[in-house]
Amino acid sequence: MIESPDSTDITDGSGFDADRRKLLKLTGAGVAALGAMSFLDRSIAKAQDMSNGANNFYKSDKVTVQKVTFKTQYQMNVAGSLFIANDLDRNAKNPTIIVGHPMGAVKEQSANLYATKMAEQGFVAMSIDLPFWGESDGQSRNLVSPDVYAEAFSAGVDFLGTQPFVDRTNIGAIGICGSGSFVISAAKIDPRMKAIATVSMYDMGAANRNALNHSLTVEQRKQFIAAAAEKRYAEFAGAEVELTGGTTHELTAETHAIQREFYDFYRTPRGEYTPPGATPLTTTHPTLTSNVKFMNFYPFNDIETISPRPMLFISGDQAHSKEFSEDAYKRAAEPKELVWVAGAGHVDLYDRVDLIPFDKLKSFFDQHLVAA
């Protein structure tokens, strides 16, 4: 349905020994790789403003925004925002793009910005909240379910493809950070997604199994899994659902450089946003017992079967996550393209409009979302 145009505290892990609790808290959305403390061989920088050029909450007077909801095959409501240029011909069939937010975020963080910019360039665009996050359905809140996340993209295609102003044969997708891996997972079994782009992609499976730079041992992985499985007993018996990982709420002299990068977006006015029903203490943090589901998530397996549909991978050449775009590009079949943004880190491409290659995204979708 289209609506009118719009203008749980973290528990202390009781029941775990300290070592296992510490390990689990290192395996969270977006910064699962913090198990790789040796990845960046440099001293911890002092807290600084890294938001130059950021415009996460960009709004355009050229675009109309509508809140929308639609159901997945699991009969869960997914919340989205539909962005349409004011001068778009609604009597015509138009190319359309669905945009997914970073893992642990919501559509108001990065996805709305991308959708707005693509709508300005003539595409119908829709950002979505993944199930269990933001305004979408799902209990427990912040639960990890890669299959349900991927289904949300296909359900978005269902919705868009039934709108009278959308050309259902020309629907593309953009996945930012963790959503890059979810949209790839969806596209492998949904050929209606005609062109796929990822930006600052995280393979959430590999990030949790291996951490960055493959720094996590199999034994450590088994400890994470065993501790989370043990915790399920307490939650089954009625204990409060525990959250883990995510972005720190306070900087110290020991805060890792990657955490500082995420902190500057999620914990400052640059990108901070608390959706309805959440609190600042719950944003970005997945549930502890569900986060291990990422261990069994292999989005790049069979990625070559997406061909001949085109794929575009965009990453900062300084991004701590660049290994994931490199891996996906290596495995994908033609046509494919890997674009490095000079001087950009991972979070830079969430919202630094002067760095994000919107012209490249436009040319990619202009080329591939055309009438057959």
> Would you say domain 2-7+11-368 falls under CATH 3.40.50.800?
no
Per-domain residue ranges of the chain: 2-7+11-368
d(CA 252, CA 76): 40
What residues are paired with 78 via a beta bridge?
A: 70
**Does residue 15 register a pLDDT over 50?**
no
Average pLDDT value for the chain: 89
Task: Give the tens place of pLDDT for each residue, 280-337.
Answer: 999 999 999 999 999 999 999 999 999 999 999 999 999 999 999 999 999 999 999 9
- The pair phi, psi for residue 174, each rounded to 5°, is -125, 125
- Does the model's pTM come out above 0.85? yes
Three-state SS across the chain?
CEEEECCCCCCCCCCCCHHHHHHHCCCCCCCHHHHCCCCCCCCCCCCCCCCCCECCCCCCCCEEEEEEEEECCCCCEEEEEEEEECCCCCCCCEEEEEEECCCCCCCCCCHHHHHHHHHHCCCEEEEECCCCCCCCCCCCCCCCCHHHHHHHHHHHHHHHHCCCCEEEEEEEEEEECCHHHHHHHHHHCCCCEEEEEEECCCCHHHHHHHCHHHCCCHHHHHHHHHHHHHHHHHHHCCCCCCECCCCCCCCCCCCCHHHHHHHHHHCCCCCCCCCCCCCCCCCCCCEHHHHHHHHHCCCCCCHHHHCCCCEEEEEECCCCCHHHHHHHHHHCCCCEEEEEECCCCCCHHHHECCCCCHHHHHHHHHHHCCCC
- What is residue 213's predicted lDDT score, i.e. its pLDDT? 84
Which of 61-65, 213-217, 286-290, 364-368 is the least confident region? 213-217
pLDDT at position 1, please? 56
pLDDT for 159-217, tens place per residue? 999 999 999 999 999 999 999 999 999 999 999 999 999 999 999 999 999 988 888 99
Quick one: tokens of 59? 């709004």
- For residue 4, report the phi and psi dihedrals to the nearest 5 degrees: -65, 155
Q: Is residue 240 within 8 Å of 216, Cβ to Cβ?
A: no
Average pLDDT over residues 147-151: 98
What distance, in Å, lies between the first and last C-alpha atoms of the chain? 29
Residue of 16 and 81 predicted with greater confidence: 81
Picking from 40, 13, 38, 85, the residue whose alpha carbon sits closest to that of residue 289 is 13
| Peptide bond before residue 140 is cis, with ω within 30 degrees of 0 | yes
pLDDT at 13 over 50: no
Q: Is the pLDDT of residue 43 over 90?
A: no
Q: Is the pLDDT of residue 274 over 70?
A: yes
What percent of the chain stands above pLDDT 90?
83
